[in-house]
Amino acid sequence: MPPSLRWALALTVFAATVAAACSSSDDPPRWDPLPPLDYGVAPEPTDASAFETRTPIKHVVFVIKENRTFDHMFGRFPGADGARFGFTCDGDRVKLQRATPKEFGADHSFVAGLTAVNGGKMNCFDAIRSGSIDRSYNQYARADIPNYWRYAERFALADRFFSSVYGPT
């Protein structure tokens, strides 16, 4: 199936789903609350340094920041393969600006993600901006998020690690 047909099919399914969800009804929707989660008793703490392993790795910790990219958080980290600029849909090169402490991101919808990714070119973030191009083309400096940078210095940083799910946010 050609990619353009695949996109058209995906957008048609998406539009049909939205239309069905937005259709009116005389009865208000009922939301049944979920039962509380029961995790049981917490396990006893374990000293991982006591285990024999082939490598010195004892723990793997993922720090996941929703709606943030590697380049947004660590693009300027020393030795990292981070971006200093991006491209717009028109092909213009845009220098990444310093993010503000309470930076609002661009549109995080599924359709906006498809637009920004642009078939893998990753060059249409300007088409999904929310008011200002700066919201899509910015990154933090070490001084803005010092604790995250300390984690990266103390442990490891994956600069070529991508999401396995092609979806919103």
Give the CA distances from residue 153 to residues 113, 142, 146, in Å, rounded to whole numbers and listed in that order: 31, 11, 10
12-44 tens-digit pLDDT? 655 555 555 555 555 555 555 555 555 566 667
Is the predicted pLDDT of residue 141 greater than 70, yes or no? yes
Backbone angles phi, psi at 88, to 5 degrees: -90, 170
Give me the mean pLDDT over the 122-133 stretch: 73
Q: Taking the complete model, does pTM exceed 0.85, yes or no? A: no
Give me the mean pLDDT over the 153-166 stretch: 75
pLDDT at 131: 53
